[in-house]
């Protein structure tokens, strides 16, 4: 398990197999990212699936970013707030889902609570070997 204060860097380093934690900055970007699976999809040339869990500490969040993937989110516990550029903020509780297309810019991803943790499962369908996330300017 890797600890990172910036979800994007953590996901990039974990998915790439890097051995160290990322950014040592702002506590508000606290997240624990646990990779679960990466598997090629032979029926879809040059595509793969990556699954991971993300856990936000109370008040935790991620800065704006982009997933170059079809991204499916399933909330396991707590409540999270998600928003893509041009869309409305969506509050999601355990058992609810969220989708982002490869062209969406993920403007808001945060724990809705300042007292309880939140955890969700992320399922990416992306180009084989490509990073699942990249930062964007706000």
Task: Supply the pTM of this predicted model.
Answer: 0.79
Helices (H), the chain: 7-16
What integer pLDDT is reported at residue 137 of this predicted model? 75
Write down the pLDDT at residue 29. 62
CA distance 76 to 78: 7
pLDDT at 1 (0 to 100): 31
- Side-chain-side CA neighbours of residue 134 (13 Å): 8
Distance CA 59, CA 28 (A): 6
List of the chain residues with pLDDT < 50 = 1-27
Ramachandran category for residue 129: left, alpha or beta (phi over 0 → left; psi -120 to 50 → alpha): left
Question: Over the stretch 92-113, which tens digit does the pLDDT of each residue have?
Answer: 999 999 999 999 999 999 999 9
What's the total number of domains in the chain?
1
The pLDDT of residue 138 is 62
Q: What is the span of the domain harbouring residue 94? A: 2-135
CATH of the domain at 24: 2.60.120.10
């Amino acid at each position: 398990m890797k600890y990172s204060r910036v979800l994007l860097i953590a996901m990039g380093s974990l998915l790439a197999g890097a051995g160290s934690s990322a950014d040592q900055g702002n506590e508000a970007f606290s997240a624990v990212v646990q990779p679960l699976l990466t598997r090629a999809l032979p029926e879809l040339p040059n595509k793969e699936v990556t699954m991971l869990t993300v856990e936000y500490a109370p008040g935790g969040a991620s800065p704006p970013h982009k997933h170059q993937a079809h991204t499916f989110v399933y909330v396991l516990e707590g409540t999270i707030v998600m928003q893509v550029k041009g869309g409305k903020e969506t509050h999601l509780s355990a058992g609810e889902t969220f989708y982002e297309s490869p062209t969406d810019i993920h403007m808001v991803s945060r724990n809705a609570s300042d007292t309880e943790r939140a955890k969700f499962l992320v399922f990416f369908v992306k180009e084989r070997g490509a990073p699942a996330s990249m930062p964007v300017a706000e």
